[in-house]
Each structure stands twice: as C-alpha cells, then as structure tokens.
Amino acid sequence: MAERLTIALDAMGGDNAPRAVVRGANIARKRFPNVDFLLVGDEAKLVPMLKRLPKLRKITTIVHAPDKVGAEDKAAQALRASRSSSMRIAIDQVRDGKAQGVVSAGNTGALMAMAKVFLRTLPGIDRPAMASFFPTMKGESVMLDLGANIECTAENLVQFAVMGELFARMVLGSLKPTVGLLNVGSEEQKGHEELRQAAAMLREGRHPIQFHGFIEGDDIAKGTVDVVVADGFSGNVALKTAEGTARLIADFLRQTFKSSILAMIGYVFCRYALRKLRLRLDPRRYNGAVFLGVNGIVVKSHGGTDALGFATAIGVAVDMVQYGFIASMKREFEKSTGTPLIPEVEEPKQAATG
C-alpha cells in the first residue's frame, strides 16, 4: 500500500474559492486514497462546507488563516503582508514539514514570490520556473518557463532545460526526453544572444540531456520535443496564444455545427466522438503549473478553474511527491554542479516579511 502523504491547499485562492478548492479536494480524495489534506483558510467558511462532505472531512484538517491574497495584489506587497494569508500559511505547512506539497489557485506572482522566499530555491538553481504540460500530436510535452522570469540569462535557460527534462522523465514518464529551445528559426545564428549561448552550453553536454536544438512556435503542438524551454515572456505568449487559438477554433466549430440542418444532423451522429475530443483538449486536464526549482512542491492551479481542474492540479502535486521529485532534483544538480546537498527544509531568515 502506498504511504500516506499530506497536501496543503490554499482554500482561499482563485476565482471560485473556497468552493472549487473544497470540491476539488473531494474529487482528488477518490483518485488518491492515500492523501490527507490541510485546508488553509477562513475556518468560518470551511467548517460548514466540510460538514456536508463527511468523507473528505475525515482526511482533512482545517488550518485557519484570517486573510487572503487578492488576485490583483502586487507580489511584493502580498509578500510583505503575507503572515496571516492563506497562501503563506499553506506554504509554511510545506516549509515546516507538515505537508509534502502545496496547491494554490491564487495570485501567481505572489505565490512565486512566497515560494522563493519561504521555501528557497534548490542549490544550483538561480531562478525557479513555471512548467506545465500540454497535448501535442505525439502525446504530451512540457513547457517552461511560462511567465515567472521575463528576462532570462543563458544560465537560467540551461537550468530550465535540466529541470524540465527531469520533470518530463518523472511525471510524463518519457524515458529519454528531448529538449528544444524556443526560437524564431532552427539555424544556429538565429535569435537572441542568450538563446545562442544557452544552445552552445547545452550542446557542450555538461548535463546529460538529449538536446534537440532550436525549435519554432509550430513545433510546440507538433510535439517535436518533449520539453520546450523558453524565457518566461515567450513561454507565456506561446501558452496563451495556443489557448486562444484552441478556443477560436472550438468557437468556429460550434458555429459550423449550427450552420445548416444537415450539419445539425451530422452533429448528432458525431456527438459522442466530439465529446471525447473535447475531453482530450479540456484545459482542466492540463491544469496545474509547477514551480520547478523551489525547495518544495508548489503547484499553481489556473485561477478560473472549477473543482475538476483543481483536482487535476492536486494530482500533479501528488505525482511529484510520489516520484520524490525534490530529492531527484537535488541529486541531479549536485551531480552536474558539484553543489553539496543542503538540508531538505531550512528556516528562512525573516526575508522581506517585516
């Protein structure tokens, strides 16, 4: 039997909190019977919700947090005022070893800032990156950074490549994942200086990863590589452009099926097959961006998601815990950089919390 593990949930983060979080936990409970939850948020709201879900209640402990981070709060401000927020207290559960991972649908910038300050980054990593997976013609791939780092050095990109490769190996189960750098052409002389430097470093082979070279935007959906590495600006643009395009085509399709009597009849026949397609492309199936490089498992759920999407994000955290992701990352970077291991959890030194 699988060991029991605990995931902390920021109950107050996201557009549909705390409802989507509590219901999401209830869905995840059935998928992962070995998981307990720490539900961090406003006790007055959470207690009555749990009362109606006795099975969830049995495996859940409420940790009271009087405040929450607003969706529009700036990261620095949220960080300063964080002490009593549900997001911060949820992260503290991981720092203090009371939970093995944390999931929040709250403010991305604040979550990243708190994760960096209170969990610290792993040795050998200068900046954590946001990673997520998405469907391709060949299956699934991972992309990072999705927006945590607007400006990136060549070293940052190389670290992203190594982290992304490990993530693909552990969570997607790719045996020998290939890694590509997102650029505007595949020729060596293309793109920003940092990209060319990063490519040179990856070709050098200090890290034992399968470096494919440069890829272009259309390679993302083709599944040309298992891991797409980009600076946070380009990665964010690519991710959101892909989402927007998918919605546009879905919209056009809906119009198409309503455009004539024949098409409507056809739709009735295809309905079952189309539902499967919709399921395959359902963004809730791909919900849950991971902050790679922080010393703890932090998963960011889309702010607008529902219970089903939140359950997926919980699943990502559970996977990473079960695969021992943090320990593997430490080994990986210790091997390649020679940096010694540091203790799993370190008390942060009052950083920016005054």
Q: One-letter amino acid identity for 217? A: G
User: At closest approach, how far in Å is the CB of 49 from its own copies?
Assistant: 31
Closest separation in Å from C-beta 72 to its own copies: 8
**Is 47 an interacting residue with respect to its own copies (CB under 8 A)?**
no
- Choices 21-29, 153-161, 188-196, 315-323; region in contact with its own copies by CB under 8 A: 188-196
> Two tokens at 54?
């006795």
Q: Does 106 bind its own copies (CB under 8 A)?
A: no
Q: Does 156 bind its own copies (CB under 8 A)?
A: no
The answer to whether 218 contacts its own copies (rule: CB under 8 A) is yes
Question: From the list 53, 81, 172, 242, which residue makes contact with its own copies (rule: CB under 8 A)?
Answer: 242
Decide: is 135 part of the binding site for its own copies (CB under 8 A): yes
How many residues bind its own copies (CB under 8 A)? The answer is 63
Q: Which two tokens stand for residue 162?
A: 């190594």
170, 201, 253, 308: which one contacts its own copies (CB under 8 A)?
A: 253
**Judged by CB, which is closer to its own copies: 44, or 268?**
268
- Measured CA to CA, the distance from residue 21 to residue 28 in angstroms comes to 10
Show the binding pattern over residues 220-239: x = contacts its own copies (CB under 8 A), - = does not: xxx-------x-xxx-xxxx
In whole angstroms, give the CA distance from residue 324 to residue 329. 9
User: Which one of the spans 159-167, 168-176, 269-277, 303-311 is the region binding its own copies (CB under 8 A)?
Assistant: 269-277
Which residue has tokens 């452009």?
A: 241
Least distance (Å) between residue 200 CB and its own copies: 18
Helix axes 325-337, 307-322, angle to 10 degrees: 50
Q: Are 221 and 242 in contact (CB under 8 A)?
A: yes
Residues near its own copies (CB under 8 A): 72, 74, 135-137, 147, 150-151, 182, 184, 187, 189, 191-192, 216-222, 230, 232-234, 236-253, 256-257, 259-260, 262-263, 265-274, 276-277, 280-281
